[in-house]
Amino acid sequence: MTTLHALDVLAQSGWLLDQIEEGRFTSWFHPIVHADDTRRIFAHEALLRGVERDGSVVAPQPILALAREAGLLFEVDSAACRSAIREAARQAPDMCVFINFSPAAIEDPDASLSATLSAIEEAKLPRDRVVFEVVEADRFGDSPLLDRVLAGYRNAGFRVALDDLGAGWSTLNLVHRLRPDFIKIDGELIRGVHRDPVKGLIANKLLEIGRGMGIGTIVEGIEVEEELRWVREHGANFVQGFLLGKPAPVARS
């Protein structure tokens, strides 16, 4: 017997498919700035948004939760990637764009890479301006799929980043094994880092590892001046957070 919950998921999956087929997914950009001069934008992180027919905006969390439940994560992730590429080409083709992806959404690495390359070429976006940011990487740390996907992106001329790095052996093992171009240090670790010696010790070690391996370091979740001052003093390359700029839609000319 079909449950009411299953029927609800089925109905909402139709909404998701409409979003994809009608091209109503879009990307908002969240600036990543130089730590030593926060007026200089280094890159933008593309963040998924849905758009209803009446123009109202849908946050990413319910979209992704529904996609997982409805088995449409691959389709949604692909549509989000195409949107990010399209908006990046429109906004700032001479600036880097960070595009999130989850290894869980990739069913066929070769097909995913081919589709990505087609979208990049169509948008005329230089490959060296694109950074693919792995989310939930710790869930796939020992997976050959993750290695294969990242190798494919790099061989095609893209750069890669690991998101939400924090404490724990899994974090260090991932950095050692995958050797990303950038690491993004989790905002939860940075929250109040200026007054928490333990957080400070861990964050400083991650920044030291980045410097030692020649990896660009991006500190997320900066919300107060004291946090910004601390990460500057400890050598972060780039910073991101509401103190420095909020996600916003791409301006239309």
* 75 within a domain of the structure (yes/no): yes
Per-residue pLDDT, 253 = 53
* 13 within a domain of the structure (yes/no): no
Spell out the residues 6+ positions from residue 1 whose beta carbon is closer than 8 angstroms to its own.
none
* 17 within a domain of the structure (yes/no): no
Q: Which of 58-67, 168-177, 217-226 has the lowest mean pLDDT?
A: 168-177
* 132 within a domain of the structure (yes/no): yes
* 3 within a domain of the structure (yes/no): no
* 36 within a domain of the structure (yes/no): yes
How would you class 110 by CB atoms within 10 Å of its CB: exposed for 0-12, middle for 13-18, buried for 19 or more? exposed
- We report the CATH number of the domain holding residue 78 as 3.20.20.450
Spell out the residues 6+ positions from residue 58 whose beta carbon is closer than 8 angstroms to its own.
49, 50, 51, 52
* 230 neighbors 191 (Cβ within 8 angstroms): no
Q: What tens digit of pLDDT does each residue of 26-69 get? A: 999 999 999 999 999 999 999 999 999 899 999 999 898 888 88
The distance of Cα 120 from the centroid of its chain, to the nearest Å, equals 17
| Mutual angle of helices 225-233 and 197-213, in 10-degree steps | 50
* 5 within a domain of the structure (yes/no): no
Count: domains in the chain: 1
Note down the domain range covering 73. Answer: 23-246
What does the DSSP 8-state code read for residue 250?
P
* 4 within a domain of the structure (yes/no): no
